[in-house]
Structure 1
């Protein structure tokens, strides 16, 4: 964050050469404007990206680089699957000793100034280079990057259609570095209206539409205390004028509770994801599944793929419009088991076949010739989002349907692999006398340090067992 005690990881080396991931290109872009914030610009662009695609800006945390976020966050996976470009801004120790974005400095995080202005220059350059749709530009960030994300949403609501603040701070919480610690560590005792005023005063005269905002917060975060998630919720629901009564509340993988606040049309405007037991970092879930992403490590915490759910919230998995046949109507979940979901939908005239998408990625390997489909090989107790599109005789895929969600029966095993220190920090274990013990089972995990690593499985809420030989244990 903005103070020396916050994050102490050494900055990783910045990427200087072109790299590829599943056919796309990751590289530095040097000529993006006057750059008053002294930032570096990196981009990831999927192979064959069409013009008019969305654009996502992803801001790293303290002690990290653009390359760290490109490698660990999972955003390139969904750029490939959903077809959008990603900008990865990077700061360095010359701006801040811990390579933190300056979310707390009013000379750098306000409209037209410093780092905020540099990021918007990157957006303009990416729109020019890749033909990105200026109506579908989104920004997300971790920790100090999350703080700057909130500031950018307040400063430039005319630029960003949505945002996601991961383990971050409310917009314009602090105006100086001296005030940053207070924001990180406790409530500012402001009313929702006062929080909302900080957004409204960031771009005076702007009246909307406002960005849609996702908020990710761990309940065991001792670097950016959980109250910041609550204050972000208060701030953006006030800006939207929708109050703090949840429209829906539901459980997601990784001990995550999602609380949604809808706008006047019944569409989600603000979402708060509270991850039980998670410490300070970005929620990831390594794996090859459509709702799995990222690489676990320092400040990339194996809980749930936040990038997947954020992309769904922003609507990136469903194109604004399709070519060819219209979207099928009546997509319905007709049945679930522990490892399968059955679907049906209404026929589309002229359709030769259909394609079913799970989380934006095509499910199965062949064309579906009827109007029913059963998706198999799924994980128990896990929610999945589905859409369907009609395909004409020439092979042109039409518009995708509205999404439906299905949750398989049973309970999904939740497993976490990291060192004993971080298991304790995340609230899955505790230490006594220099040794680490799994919460619930009390199993001895060895010395409380960064050198001993175990896999813990949560077999019931708050009850963990050692599962080094495989999960489920």
Structure 2
């Protein structure tokens, strides 16, 4: 690797740390294309370090050091017993050549750093239309804060059960989305109205991730009582307390980066949720930095997950949706999620079936029941669906209206016929 390329990478790093992602992207693209003469520009006056204690963008790449630096430091140092295994875990070391290969092969039209939006969802989001709320229902804008940080969220309160809802679904959006867009695209409010459920949509902020992705790949956001899991759990407990709900009626679901974060929530707070829905996501522990996130998304494996068990000896009940035409998150990631969620012990059974949605998409469905006959895992692999919510609505982004209705099927699995 010549000196010009190394110089370009250092310049890209400085631009990234200064939050000038456009300049960093341009420099990396020029360097990869061999345009060495244009790879370096005199830094413009607006390249300034971020203010102290502000979380920087979570994509610092340091090729000349041949390591991947921590994505973001926790807001406060945590004791070793809380950090656990991650305290001693080293970042995945990547030789410069491999780092360049990953960046080169992960190009998207929006550029190298634009492809990091694919650590959730690539592309541009359109503005969601105003939510249609039935008479008597509410779609409230709320704000939550705790020692780990603050986030806004939307809360749907159904007209069918405004005072005593039958359960709560936490919905975690993908990159370049927000709660309003995600609610419109998934149609979860309509399903919730039918079943008398409240739905909370936490919103990731651009201050914590430039593309509004949940930081599922950041070790500081993969642990209990710190980071984003603590914030999402706090929102969950706030709504549970308000409506008098217990864990048996509380569920978490998400798409892509939100699906990966739903897996994190199931791992870090198995005592808070009774089931998880993961759409086009990744298993807990699949990555611990941005390059390992790229590798995991491409189906090249990743850091091994360590699924926890509930007090009753079972893992979190999980329903998985995945499109076999997904070019952002490789379908093999769904297999890893299913493997991590499989029931323990003997006596569990597997049933497989296939079908076709009303709009024409064919699918394969695998149902795993534990020794008591209770559905523990359900996996839908949908033909022809890309990186999009199956059965979603065009009012939101990243949806495929032709697939089976993931929202309805997730709620059915969550409630498990107990209504």
TM superposition score category, shorter chain reference = 0.5 to 0.7
Shift of 1:10: 3.4
Quickly say closer, same or farther: Cα 1:304–1:231, change in 2 above 3 A: same
**Number of the residue aligned with 2:253:** 140
Alpha-carbon distance in 2 for matches of 1:178, 1:84: 38
Where 2:335 maps in the other structure, the secondary structure is: helix
Name the SS of the counterpart of 2:277 in structure 1: strand
Matched with 2:387 is 280
For the 8 Å contact 1:60–1:90, the answer to whether it is kept is yes
Within-5 A mapping of 1:248-327: 248-253=352-357, 254-284=361-391, 294-295=393-394, 298-302=397-401, 303-315=403-415, 318-319=418-419
For 1:71 and 1:64, locate their aligned partners in 2 and report how far apart those are by CA, in whole Å.
11
Q: Structure 1 unaligned runs (5+)?
A: 286-293, 320-473
Partner secondary structure for residue 279 of structure 1: coil
CA distance in structure 2 between the aligned counterparts of 1:117 and 1:29, rounded to whole angstroms = 17
Contact 1:242 1:261 in 2 (8 A): no
Residue by residue over 1:181-215, the C-alpha shift from the partner in whole angstroms, topping out at 9 and shown as x without a partner, is: 0110014178xxx54xx113xx8x95644321001
* 1:409 matched residue in structure 2: none
Q: Equivalent residue for 2:286? A: 173
Q: Do the aligned residues in 1 keep the contact of 2:125 with 2:397 (CA within 8 Å)?
A: no
Equivalents in 1 of 2:126, 2:147: separation in Å?
22
- Counterpart of 1:418? none
Q: Given the alignment, which residue of 169, 174, 187 partners 1:74?
A: 187
Deviations 1:230-265 (A, max 9, x none): 11111111x544699733333241212111111111
Aligned pair 1:236/2:341, yes or no?
yes
More helix by share: 2
Q: Tell me the residue number matched to 2:307.
A: 199
- Contact 1:26–1:44 (8 Å) recurs in 2: yes
1:109 alignment counterpart: 222
Matches within 5 A, 1:22-37: 22-30=135-143, 32-34=144-146, 36-37=148-149
Shift in Å, 1:51: 2.3
Residue ranges of structure 2 left out of the alignment (5+ in a row): 1-57, 60-112
Does structure 2 conserve the Cα–Cα contact (< 8 Å) formed by 1:172 and 1:199? Answer: no
Shift of 1:44: 0.3
SS of aligned partner of 2:199:
strand
- Which of 320, 328, 331 aligns to 1:215? It is 320
Match among 152, 156, 177 for residue 44 of structure 1? 156
Say which structure is richer in strand.
Answer: 1
Q: How much has 1:52 moved relative to structure 2? A: 5.7
In structure 1, distance between residues paired with 2:293 and 2:347: 27
In the alignment, is the contact (CA less than 8 A) between 2:166 and 2:197 conserved in 1? Answer: yes
In 2, are the aligned partners of 1:45 and 1:84 still within 8 Å (CA)? yes
Distance in 2 (alpha carbons) for counterparts of 1:257 and 1:244: 20
Q: TM-score, length-normalised on structure 1? A: 0.58
Distance 2:376 2:168 in 1: 19
Change (3 A) 1:65 1:106: same
What is the alpha-carbon distance in structure 2 between the residues aligned to residue 149 and residue 41 of structure 1? Answer: 16
Q: CA deviation at 1:178?
A: 2.6
Q: Distance in 2 between matches of 1:217 and 1:186?
A: 13
Regions of 4+ moved over 4 Å? 11-15, 241-245
3-state DSSP class of the match of 2:242? helix
Identify the residue that residue 4 of structure 1 maps to in structure 2.
114
Q: Give the total of aligned pairs.
A: 300
Aligned-partner Cα distance in 2 for 1:82–1:317:
11
Aligned residue number for residue 246 of structure 1: 350
User: C-alpha offsets along residues 308-347 of structure 1, whole Å, 9 cap, x if unaligned?
Assistant: 111111126642xxxxxxxxxxxxxxxxxxxxxxxxxxxx
Is 1:158 matched with 2:265?
no
Aligned-pair CA distance for 1:299: 0.8
SS where residue 261 of structure 1 aligns? Answer: strand
Contact in 2 for aligned 1:18/1:25 (Cα 8 Å): no
Q: Which residue in the other structure is 2:67 paired with? A: none
Q: Report how far residue 94 of structure 1 moved.
A: 1.1
- Do the aligned partners of 1:165 and 1:214 also contact (CA within 8 Å) in 2? yes
Secondary structure of 2:237 counterpart? helix
The verdict on how the C-alpha distance between 1:269 and 1:22 changes in structure 2, with shifts beyond 3 A counting, is farther
Alpha carbon RMSD of aligned pairs, Å?
Answer: 2.8
Partner-residue secondary structure (3-state), 2:182: helix
Greater relative contact order structure (CA < 8 Å, 6+ sep): 2
Q: 131-140 or 224-233: which moved more?
A: 131-140
- The question of whether the paired residues in 1 share the 8 Å contact of 2:247 and 2:271 is answered with no
> Which of 97, 117, 120 pairs up with 2:210?
97
